[in-house]
Structure 1
């Protein structure tokens, strides 16, 4: 009998595009009587997260209250999900304090995956120290060889890239977006790879490298002809300004 929640099972249950169905699946999984109590409780933290994605913040908090006082890995998950609820509700300072506690607790428990999750969330909730938290997440990743944990590098490079893009430094952003593509090809899902390649094309357009961008986007369009973001990017490229770069 598995006495802890495996990330592979979470991946199979989660559909972030459909939090309602995800919440139902987590509730059903947590109700299965053969599961150890700790695993059922961890599943409930994910149901709380799915409720939060529906903006049902009070219900999610009440559900997390039922799991306390939580310690060990469960405690880390409760801190993370409370932080996500606060961040989604626009209470960034409270979220940051919870994510810092989650990061410290995950480090103590040797939970690298959850520690990276906490650092990644800190980079979002605490934008003034975003680079510090992102660097800390990458430092954590440098100590693991687990492919599923290394998948975090896709989001970390992507988020850093968009921050640089929005700060008006697209050359630096492009390097991060390209690193996200490499990470997605090595460790990520096909959806992450597709999205990362689209992002590279978007940045190339910003730099005026229209031919390079169009080559990527047309390949993506061949792969998914009905994708609206790809179609929109192709349309934008037809009116974009070229540079003299090849």
Structure 2
């Protein structure tokens, strides 16, 4: 049974992960009205997370240094969030060896305090930072979330199914990956999360292509493209997969403009350029 946390405002409701600067502004506004040190400290942990997402790593550590000096020893939830966010900043700044023990401590403390959702978060971060053990950490997180009666813990299910899908995908086990991506889609659909539904369908289609089912994959990606166009938006990842499907189907001339469009968009993606330069170069070469 998960331990309830009465009368604690839902700080997570202030998050817009796609716009961390705006999220930071909201947290700072909330901070000014926070009634006690515990809530102020917890809010500061989320400000640090927003700073980390903006790649302001020194500022994030400085914010967490403030938390460390505050009286939070009798507030296990705040201590867990402090450990989580310190670990996230280290991991995002390419220091996973410093992040892993912090995530481990966060998980242990969260379990001791019956804060299951935070324990799942810590396990999911261990899977990212300790990539050699990603499968084990993700499966442990999934077991914890599936067994929980805490809605916040169960909210992790779709993300965990997705993460497990990618873990198996990276291992070349595309059939198992597909099964997990389909579970993720079902969870997203049950919650009516339209953006996440599109992402889940994209993952399924990419996996279908790897299973030599490029015709099916192409149909899904074209449906996603039409949907995105109706919204007046663009998506380089969809363009890239359409290109790869056409290329796999021996239609290179049809693929070329999609490769070009994908390169134009994704070459502006800082994370992708830093972490998958060969992928970006392939888009350029085939456009």
TM-score bracket, normalised by the shorter chain, equals 0.7 to 0.9
2:201, 2:174 → 1: CA distance?
Answer: 15
Alpha-carbon distance between aligned partners in 1 of 2:172 and 2:182, rounded to the nearest angstrom: 17
Structure-2 separation of matches of 1:212 and 1:236? 13
Shift of 1:125: 0.6
Residue 29 (str. 1) matches residue 26 (str. 2): no
Q: 214-223 vs 107-116, which deviates more?
A: 214-223
Matched, 1:166 2:174: no
Partner of residue 231, structure 1:
239
Instruction: Verify the 8 A CA contact 2:103 2:125 in the aligned structure 1.
Output: yes
Is 83-92 or 172-181 further displaced after alignment?
172-181
Partner of residue 47, structure 2: 47
Query: How many Å apart are 1:195 and its aligned residue?
Result: 0.5
CA displacement at 1:223 relative to structure 2: 2.3
Q: Which residue of 2 aligns with 1:15?
A: 16
Q: Secondary structure at the match of 2:8?
A: coil
- Once residues 88 and 236 of structure 1 are traced to their aligned partners in structure 2, the CA distance between those partners, rounded to angstroms, is 30
Distance across 1 between alignment mates of 2:12 and 2:93: 24
On the 8 A contact 2:181/2:200 being kept in 1, the answer is yes
- Find the aligned partners of 2:183 and 2:37 in 1 and give their Cα distance: 40
Structure 1: segments with no counterpart, 5+ residues: none
2: distance between equivalents of 1:220 and 1:135? 30
Q: TM-score, normalised by structure 2?
A: 0.76
Aligned-pair CA distance for 1:37:
3.2
Mapping for residues 24-103 of structure 1, pairs under 5 Å: 24-32=25-33, 35-68=35-68, 69-71=71-73, 72-103=76-107
Deviations 1:81-137 (A, max 9, x none): 000011111111110000000000000111111000000000111112212211211
After TM superposition, give the deviation of residue 62 of structure 1 in Å: 1.7
Cα displacement (A) at 1:188 = 6.7
Secondary structure in 2 matching 1:55: coil
Work out whether 1:135 is the aligned partner of 2:139. Answer: yes
How many angstroms does 1:16 deviate by? 1.9
| 1-structure distance, mates of 2:177, 2:147 | 25
> Aligned equivalents of 2:113 and 2:197: distance in 1?
31
Residue equivalent to 1:221: 225
Comparing 48-57 with 216-225, which one deviates more in the overlay?
216-225
TM-score (ref. length: structure 1): 0.88
1:153: which partner in 2? 157
| Counterpart Cα distance in 2 of 1:148 and 1:223 | 30
- Stretches of structure 2 lacking an aligned partner (at least 5 in a row): 1-5, 251-287
The structure with the larger Rg is 2
Q: How far apart, CA to CA, are the structure 1 residues paired with 2:20 and 2:174?
A: 33
Q: Deviation digits for residues 131-187 of structure 1, max 9, x if unmatched?
A: 221121112112223444222122212122222222222222211211211222234
Structure-1 separation of matches of 2:181 and 2:25: 35
**Alignment RMSD (CA, Å):** 2.0
Tell me, in whole angstroms, the C-alpha distance in 1 between the residues paired with 2:39 and 2:58. 23
Work out whether residues 38 and 72 of structure 2, in 8 Å CA contact, stay in contact via their aligned partners in 1.
Answer: no
- Mapped to 2, the partners of 1:91 and 1:24 lie a distance apart of 27
The CA distance in 2 between the partners of 1:136 and 1:172, in whole Å, is 17
